[in-house]
Amino acid sequence: MTGWVAMAALVPALAWGQAGGHGHAHSGNEVKIGRHEVGLEVRGGQATLSIVDDKEQPVDAAAFSATAVVLARGNERRTLEFGPAGGNRLVAPVDFPVDGKFRATVTLRGPGGDLGTGRFNVDPVR
């Protein structure tokens, strides 16, 4: 029985590392923040957050914002401010280089204030 307990404790850690904190079968760039599923894509000089509800339906992002603390090249911390970009998307410019993965801690805010935070570790698309 002890082996099963150890395995049960390990499974959430594996899910975090592979699916960004939520065992979703999508791209692996999604994280649960509050009641929302938030995906992060970094392409060129822009980071995009996509927000869906617990039924995987797009959420109008007009009333949302987000801040991300990102680990830039040389372990320098940079802050991004995301704003609405139409539909269920928030965007922020990325004007600094990163080493390897794009590692960010995102705080999502709605009309009532902070909804929670999520950690991302994604491959940027060049």
Return per-residue pLDDT of the chain as tens, 126 residues.
444 333 333 333 333 333 333 333 445 589 999 999 999 999 999 999 999 999 999 999 999 999 999 999 999 999 999 999 999 999 999 999 999 999 999 999 998 999 999 999 999 987
What was the pLDDT predicted at 71? 95
> What value, to the nearest 5°, has the Cα angle with vertex 82 and ends 101 and 47?
30
φ, ψ at 57 (rounded to 5°): -95, 140
Q: Which of 78, 68, 125, 67 minimizes the C-alpha distance to 101? A: 125
Q: What is the pTM of this model?
A: 0.77
Contacts of 126 (CB under 8 A, 6+ apart): 44
- For 29-122, CATH gives 2.60.40.10
Bridge partners of 33?
36
